[in-house]
Structures are given as C-alpha cells and as structure tokens.
Amino acid sequence: MNTLTVIQSAAVKGLPAGCRSPGASAYWRPEMPQDADASDESLMLAYRDGDAGAFDRLYERHRGGVYRYMLRQCRNAALAEELFQDVWMNLIRARASYEVQARFSTYLYRIAHNRLMDHFRRRDFVAMSLDDETAAPVEEPAALPGAQPEIDIEARAQAAQLLSLLGKLPDEQREAFVLQQEGGLSVEEIAEATSVSRETAKSRLRYAMAKLREGMQSWR
C-alpha cells in the first residue's frame, strides 16, 4: 500500500462512523463548496466536521512542501517518507480538536517540526554529511520545453550549487529557510512553528540567506 493510499485510508477512518460511506473503498465526499480558492483553514474545519474530501484537497496542496521540508532536514529519502507519513497521521489524529488559531500552514509545519525533533531525540540522530552514500541525491530540474541546451545546463548547475549550499547550513538555519521557501511561512510563523522567539527565527533566516547569497555570487 503506497503512502497516499495509507494516508487517505487513515483520513477516512479518523472520521466519525456516521461520516463514512458504508462499504466504500474510497473517500466519502459530502457536499462541500466547489470554490477552488477555499482557504486551508476552512478546508481543515470542514474535514474536522466530517468532510474527507476537504482533507484530500489539503493533502494535494501541501504534500510537496512537507515532503521537501523533511527531505532537506534529514537528507535521507526513506526516512523523509516515513516522517512525512507520520506528519499526516498526526494531523488526522488531531482533527477533532482543531481550531483556527493561526494559518493552517503554520499549524501543519509545527506538527512537522515536532515530529522531526521527536525523531532526533529518540534516535540520537546525527545529521548525515553531504558525502554520505545514503543521502538523497540532488534533485535537478527537468528541461524546459524548447529551452536552449546551454541555458538548461546552467540552470541545472545553479540548482545543484544551491542545494549543496543548503545542505551545508546548520540545521536551524536550513529549517528556517525551507519553512519560508517551501511552507511560505513568515518570520513570525517560523518562530511559532519551531517554538522560538521572533528574533531567533529572524536571525536564523538572515544568516541562512546571507550564506546562500555568498555561495551563489559566481552565478550573478
């Protein structure tokens, strides 16, 4: 059973019995607003109240960012997949008590951060070096249709350099940068998600940006 199937199944099982379709193998989707611009918060409230389809939409919106956050932090694809699944399972378990107190993305990445920290504490995790054979390979962008070969090669090289620099950042600085870039979190939201002060979050992000800019100077 793949990750998506596991999470979807758990999302439905997490609903009250009256909100499941008898004998159905997929989601039961009650009537819900068809507004494609529905906010994350309204979707999570809808899921809390029994709409499994709302969870589906949240998962589609945020699965990429959450997975990349995990991958950038632990740099091991198999471990990132395991932690990624745990994050969504924890969200499902917390469904009934959800209230809007911040942006949904802040709430979600707080869960992700806590799961990552829990893993580090339990396993006395030591971050793998960039030359570790088990580290996830550098992801290169696919060639753009009609792109000139020399431009595509340069874009790939730039992406590889940026990812290499990102991997060399201290964990806290890398996390702040990834939360901003992948999660779209503000400084205040990064501070809330990682349980630090605003100034600490701002400092981590500032140092990360400075180091990345310095490392990318040759591409300017």
Residues 13-33 pLDDT 10s? 766 544 443 333 333 344 444
Percent of the chain exceeding pLDDT 70 equals 73
Crossing angle for the helix pair 171-183 and 149-168, to the nearest 10 degrees: 130
CA 32/CA 21 separation, integer angstroms = 16
What stretch(es) of the chain map to CATH 1.10.10.10?
Answer: 141-220
The CA radius of gyration of the chain, in Å to the nearest whole number, is: 19
- Asked whether the CA dihedral 38, 40, 45, 51 is positive or negative, the reply is positive
Cα-based distances in Å from 137 to 79, 98, 131, 167, 183: 14, 37, 10, 11, 22
The confidence band for 144, taking pLDDT boundaries of 50, 70 and 90, is: very low
Percent of the chain exceeding pLDDT 90 equals 50
Assigned token pair, 94: 């917390």
- Mapping DSSP to helix (H, G, I), strand (E, B) and coil, where does residue 35 land? coil
Residues 101-139 pLDDT 10s? 999 999 999 999 999 888 887 765 343 333 344 434 434
What stretch(es) of the chain map to CATH 1.10.1740.10?
Answer: 29-133
Average pLDDT over residues 55-73: 93
Please name which of 190, 135, 133, 130 lies closest in space to residue 165, comparing C-alpha atoms.
Answer: 130
The whole model's pTM is what?
0.70
Residue-averaged pLDDT of the chain: 78
Assigned token pair, 1: 């059973």
Crossing angle for the helix pair 198-215 and 149-168, to the nearest 10 degrees: 140
- Asked whether the CA dihedral 158, 155, 204, 182 is positive or negative, the reply is negative
Determine the pLDDT at residue 74: 85
Answer for the pair 187, 205: CB distance below 8 angstroms, yes or no: yes
Determine the pLDDT at residue 47: 95
Determine the pLDDT at residue 2: 72
Determine the pLDDT at residue 15: 64
Q: For domain 29-133, say whether CATH 3.30.110.40 is its number.
A: no
Cβ burial 38-56 (10 Å sphere, 16+ → b, else e):
eebbbbbbbbbeebbbbbb
Determine the pLDDT at residue 150: 56
Instruction: Pick the more confident residue, 154 or 209.
Output: 209
The confidence band for 152, taking pLDDT boundaries of 50, 70 and 90, is: low
CA 107/CA 104 separation, integer angstroms = 5
Cβ count near 168 (within 10 Å): 14
The confidence band for 90, taking pLDDT boundaries of 50, 70 and 90, is: very high
Residue type, 31: E
Instruction: Pick the more confident residue, 6 or 189.
Output: 189
Q: Under CATH, which number does the domain 141-220 receive? A: 1.10.10.10
